[in-house]
Amino acid sequence: MAAEMALVKPISNVTPKFGSPRLGSYSKFSSIRMSATATPPPSTSTKPSKKGNKNVIKESLLTPRFYTTDFDEMETLFNTEINKNLNQEEFEALLQEFKTDYNQTHFVRNKEFKEAADKLEGPLRQIFVEFLERSCTAEFSGFLLYKELGRRLKKTNPVVAEIFSLMSRDEARHAGFLNKGLSDFNLALDLGFLTKARKYTFFKPKFIFYATYLSEKIGYWRYITIYRHLKANPEYQCYPIFKYFENWCQDENRHGDFFSALMKAQPQFLNDWKAKLWARFFCLSVYVTMYLNDCQRTAFYEGIGLNTKEFDMHVIIETNRTTARIFPAVLDVENPEFKRKLDRMVEINQKIIAIGESDDIQLVKNLKRIPLVAALVSELLAAYLMPPIESGSVDLAEFEPQLVY
């Protein structure tokens, strides 16, 4: 899961009870208690501290989020006696694929990691830490949601429940691998603390489907694009984690395909005018969140030889084409006007950030922000109202193990 879905504000904060994950117990390292955002990256002191680094970093609208949902409604949706659209054969086939566990032995580290981390210095080192931390938080967010869905759907639909549990296995593996990456920098995310302390964004099931589908597919396109770029330009391969992205992104692709199957089994979420409006809304939220986030971190993308905006537009266009196979409507992201709007949002966002960093008193900051926030909302609205592309209705016959590229 890539969790490029943060612009939407929390509707309520519910903290579900999860078992305590056995990830991230690196007590000999500094421990990061919250996910970083646009605030300065955590200290990367090479001297491990037993007390732990008490960085409490505030969340922003663009921080990777944790999600919860209406699990009772989920149980109704996946009850085979109530919902006759559930194609159990299709889910059985998907389950077999997840059980195959293609990446069981993929995430094995070697000494290259620590050596590469030691060579990273200055701002690039800090931005790498932030990349690892944000990615780990996003993967872990998927782990928590899928694990709980696996637990809650066990009685109603054991096949779907088992797939969720196996997807949580994948996400735990991804989060754990990223957290081990942080250990190369003598840091570790305190995932147990995150589970309890983070706010949970509540989405109704249909919104969970749209958001997680997009999150998985955009994650796939981000990982595979970075992988291909570094394969073609190995001089930018400054940390070995990217070499793992090829197989890794196939996990995300499979997760996205599973959500396709889930949505097909809930045609009421795909076949009316409201579905079209929501589909466009979620596409816009996910694309804008990624674009604004990445444009605040151009040093990272430049550090691995990518042009941030070109990279993001490629990922947005490919994700949108993939999404058009299942969503009833998508945005016309290939219209040059869409990118112009994104670029204007970046400019406005930079001004908003500059106000936050200024020495003005809070009241003055708030007053200065008002016209900029209004301008940002108006750009968002204009992008949302651009003529959409009618899509969907392509019957997905892609549940065989298959690569998208």
DSSP characters for 97-127? HHHH-TTTTT----THHHHHHHH--HHHHHH
Stretch that binds Fe ion, among 1-9, 116-124, 127-135, 205-213 (CB under 5 A): 1-9
String marking each residue 206-245 x if it binds Fe ion according to CB under 5 A: ----------x-----------------------------
Task: Give the SS3 label for residue 271.
Answer: coil
Q: Looking at beta carbons only, is 2 or 376 nearer to Fe ion? A: 2
Alpha carbons 337 and 156: distance in angstroms, whole number: 46
Among 255, 276, 280, 341, binds Fe ion (CB under 5 A): 255
Q: Looking at beta carbons only, is 1 or 306 nearer to Fe ion? A: 1
Min dist. Cβ of residue 170 to Fe ion (A): 6
Q: Looking at beta carbons only, is 174 or 280 nearer to Fe ion? A: 174
Stretch that binds Fe ion, among 19-27, 61-69, 249-257, 380-388 (CB under 5 A): 249-257
Which residue's entry shows tokens 């919902």?
A: 83
Q: Looking at beta carbons only, is 30 or 141 nearer to Fe ion? A: 141
Q: Looking at beta carbons only, is 177 or 338 nearer to Fe ion? A: 177
Stretch that binds Fe ion, among 165-173, 257-265, 299-307, 393-401 (CB under 5 A): 165-173
Min dist. Cβ of residue 357 to Fe ion (A): 32
Alpha carbons 125 and 68: distance in angstroms, whole number: 33
Among 174, 217, 222, 341, binds Fe ion (CB under 5 A): 174
Q: Looking at beta carbons only, is 148 or 216 nearer to Fe ion? A: 216
Which is it for the CA torsion 199, 204, 205, 211, positive or negative?
negative
Q: How many helices (H) and strands (E) does the chain have?
A: 13, 6
Alpha carbons 146 and 234: distance in angstroms, whole number: 35
Q: Looking at beta carbons only, is 139 or 379 nearer to Fe ion? A: 139
Q: Specify the DSSP element, H or E, that contains 165.
A: helix 158-183
Alpha carbons 249 and 221: distance in angstroms, whole number: 8
- What would the two tokens of residue 49 be? 């501290």
Among 190, 252, 257, 312, binds Fe ion (CB under 5 A): 252
Q: Which residues contact 132 (CB under 8 A, 6 or more apart)?
A: 178, 179, 181, 182, 185, 241
Stretch that binds Fe ion, among 133-141, 151-159, 221-229, 283-291 (CB under 5 A): 133-141
Which residue's entry shows tokens 């990830």?
A: 23
Contact call for residue 1 and Fe ion (CB under 5 A)? yes
Q: Looking at beta carbons only, is 216 or 257 nearer to Fe ion? A: 216
Which residue's entry shows tokens 């930079």?
A: 350
Min dist. Cβ of residue 290 to Fe ion (A): 16
249 dihedral zone (left: phi>0; alpha: psi -120 to 50; beta) = alpha
Contact call for residue 173 and Fe ion (CB under 5 A)? no
Min dist. Cβ of residue 7 to Fe ion (A): 20
Q: Do the beta carbons of residue 103 and residue 247 sit within 8 Å?
A: yes
Among 75, 97, 139, 312, binds Fe ion (CB under 5 A): 139
Binding site for Fe ion (CB under 5 A): 1, 139, 171, 174, 216, 252, 255
